[in-house]
Structure 1
């Protein structure tokens, strides 16, 4: 039976913890430093959170929820409050356990190896399935610039290229990951804000359509649209997952998480309302590039839509860059503890190389499948599957915070804030549980299959650890 490991000794206040060197499969150290590896400061950590949240979702968001009507704006408000609750919980957990791995670390410290493995496995699935979805979304905007959809082979090649370029940037080292992330965030944030504000000059309430467009009840419409919207909020935990690469993580992870989430939420609200008010509802429902359609309607012609398509590609490449790093960090942390194969501990230039390569290969295979093996609904199901798999580590993280607070482990929690922190953690847990319900039966069914497939991997790794311990 696995037991929860003891909490690591905290470094002195104000200093960044030093991650232990990872042992490779042959006994050598898996981590290597050099001038290509560099810890992230607060600006880059904030950009990582913003860049991962504001990825392809912001450009697809209005069209994805338009079938539910403007009631989706209510769901957006609830979702934002829940995302901020999660952001605050992740900040507090990172202050307690400032190590690479995020939800995996918190679940394992609180509940033991199996819970930690489930968090790592589920988060890893979320990461590479999201990468496949982002690549598919990016091709939709690339088609505005270059008509790649005229050929299935060209479409697949474009989607794969959009995944492998960020992977190569990651393999070049964390120094380049941070640089790409900061540049991509700046390039997309400023013009998107200008477009969002400009949209109010052309706002027409007649374009909004009905408040509740579908046949679902009001509660059902809010839950269903919130489940789709969560895909655009994935990444709130980005700084916590990469805490080992952040300078002074006890101080900067929480700040970066909250600042990045608030900035993304503000931009989401402006852009959603702007597009809803400029594109007629019937047109928006069937749009594959809603921002391009919005700008074309504002200014006439197609030059505006072309410019927005360029911005969308920059945004999505930046998100793929950040998500590729996150998809490698969680299995790295789990492998370091013997819960994933040891090949995932190999690091070069500050980046877990095996994690990056395995992730991009799996995402590439899923991308090819998405284009060749099914109807258009496959993409929507994948988005909802990521919603379910993301809520598993979210639920475990919120439960871990509740455990730390209520079990008397308040050595790093101010006792005067115990009630407030407990209420916040309960809100984050309830919010995550609500999202599971809103994902729908099909997504939960497929997500559970993905999740349970990992039980066999855990059994294999547990057997190997036991055999090694008795050898």
Structure 2
């Protein structure tokens, strides 16, 4: 068993909390709009969701196998560096870290809309910025309080947000009417086109499957629990996604669903009448976003932690307090705060929209490298890393996970890939700086030893 630096096991997550971390990070606020977003393509979008779920589970299983082999904090970074060296590891860590704090800013902005719905407060720049910053800093403070608080917040928020979603998914079965589903493909066109178009919207629904492996150092018995939490969290999210979307499709007439701005709320109102569904779902969405911010703040601290330990990120990212890399939490919160302030004060969402595009690409780079690392380990037959009895199954899963990750890149769109690559390459300067400093330090350490070598020889002679 791998202890934390202070040797305290009681501060680490058990299997239930690690599973809640995965589920909470996968399901943010997007689920509450997804049915209406894909309804224009027809019910072929349900098929797309099913295909994506298979790919996500394959990726989860690969992360589980990799974590079983190497359960250190850092997840994708650790696997990429071990397989392909420092530069690949740095690109994985840099890309993932970028995605965490930029997406946190986006989540905070999304939470403001639900706050207005619940409170009736009229939108204004000052009030909106204050609420968005509260969404950012309250989870940051929970993280700074230690892993015990992070786990408690994650468990509570996950339960509170899933109850309404499960309610709609289960009760929706009794209100399901096949006539509401609409056509398989909108306009009777080619079903493959509808499948691809809807998949492009749904592709990022499963970002977060790696959450337990990134924070492996905060999980008790990581060799066992990280893999299980990854798979259980992904399957649990898939059940909520698929059943919830199907329930909404079957309870709201297709022509109304296409125009809906709050499909889950409309589904509840259709089932039971009245307008209380909107308040219920808005509250669940706000809690969902808060829980996702709690989990992603933890990811933003742990993703550069291992790289900092290896000298590829500034050393401050490796310092811990109460089991949490505190500098990583603060750095991510400050950077996300800067983006949020720009969003509300620049008068234009242009800069913010570009950076949000960066996250859609940045999330896929660590996935591709991790899946490729598993293929590499299997092909090279490294004895302690590969179980011969699982060779064929693991290779199929690894190739499937790579294909799924590649599909994520393709589905991101040209703009996302273009902006994402530029931001990824900007990190090369950081790598050069850190690598140069490390080499200089190694040379300085080697100099006294080299100077002392002739003295040793004369004494022995």
- Matches of 2:125 and 2:186 in 1, distance apart? 34
Q: Is the 8 A contact 2:375 2:399 kept in 1?
A: yes
Within 5 A, what are the aligned runs for 1:39-118?
39-118=12-91
Q: 2:99 aligns with which of 126, 130, 133?
A: 126
**In 2, are the aligned partners of 1:95 and 1:249 still within 8 Å (CA)?**
yes
Counterpart in the other structure of 1:312:
285
The separation in 2 between residues aligned to 1:358 and 1:176, in whole angstroms, is: 19
Judging changes above 3 Å, is the alpha-carbon distance between structure 1 residues 306 and 17 closer, same or farther for their aligned structure 2 residues?
same
| Residues 119-158 of structure 1 aligned to structure 2 (within 5 Å) | 119-148=92-121, 150-158=123-131
Give distance in 1, aligned partners of 2:128 and 2:265: 19
Shift in Å at residue 413 of structure 1? Answer: 2.4
Q: Please say if 1:223 is aligned against 2:196.
A: yes
Distance 2:79 2:345 in 1: 39
* Distance change in 2, residues 1:216/1:114 (3 Å): farther
- Identify which range, 215-224 or 181-190, moves more after superposition: 215-224
Displacement after TM superposition at 1:164 (Å): 1.0
Q: Does structure 1 retain, via aligned residues, the 8 Å contact 2:357–2:419?
A: no
CA RMSD of aligned residues (A): 2.4
What displacement does 1:434 show? 1.5
| Residue 289 (structure 1) shift | 3.0
Q: Equivalent residue for 1:13? A: none
Cα shift readout 1:430-450 (whole Å, capped 9, x = no counterpart): 111112111111111111122
Indicate which of 354, 365, 369 corresponds to 1:396: 369
Aligned to 1:257: 230
Q: Distance in 1 between matches of 2:423 and 2:225?
A: 33
Cα pair distance change 1:286/1:462, threshold 3 Å? farther
Counterpart in 2 of 1:468? 441
Partner residue of 2:422? 449
Check whether the contact 1:60–1:288 (CA below 8 A) recurs between aligned residues.
yes
Matching of residues 31-430 of structure 1 within 5 Å:
38-148=11-121, 150-213=123-186, 218-373=191-346, 385-430=358-403
Instruction: Give the whole-Å Cα distance in 2 for the aligned partners of 1:339 and 1:288.
Output: 44
Structure 2 unaligned residues grouped into runs of 5+: 445-461
Q: Is the radius of gyration larger for structure 1 or structure 2?
A: 2
- The answer to whether the 8 A contact 2:204-2:408 is kept is no
Q: 1:67 to 1:460 in 2, by over 3 A?
A: farther
Pair 1:266–1:17, CA change in 2 (3 A) = same
1:235 counterpart SS class:
coil
Distance 1:217 1:442 in 2: 26
Q: Distance in 2 between matches of 1:375 and 1:68?
A: 31
Describe the superposition over 1:166-223 as per-residue Cα deviations: whole angstroms up to 9, x where unpaired.
Answer: 1110010001001111111222223321122222333344443443348996444433
1:326–1:403 distance in 2 versus 1, CA, 3 Å: same
Aligned CA distance change for structure 1 residues 361 and 48 (closer, same or farther; 3 Å): same
TM-score (norm 1): 0.88
Aligned equivalent of 1:27: none
In 1, the alpha carbon distance for the partners of 2:121 and 2:424 equals 35
Deviation for aligned residue 1:79: 0.9
SS at match of 1:410: coil
Structure number with the higher helix fraction is 2
Which one is further off, 275-284 or 151-160? 275-284
Whether contact under 8 Å (1:103, 1:120) holds in the other structure is: yes
Does structure 2 retain, via aligned residues, the 8 Å contact 1:99–1:243? yes
The CA distance in 2 between the partners of 1:39 and 1:407, in whole Å, is 34
Distance in 2 separating the partners of 1:324 and 1:259: 21
TM-score normalised according to structure 2 size: 0.90
The Cα of 1:59 is off from its aligned counterpart by 1.6
SS in 1 for 2:220: coil
The DSSP-based 3-state class of the residue aligned with 1:99 is: coil
Contact 1:404 1:410 in 2 (8 A): no
Q: Partner of 1:11 in structure 2?
A: none
3-state DSSP class of the match of 1:231? Answer: helix
CA–CA distance in 1 between the matches of 2:177 and 2:351? 34
Give, in whole Å, the separation in 2 of the partners of 1:241 and 1:73.
Answer: 30
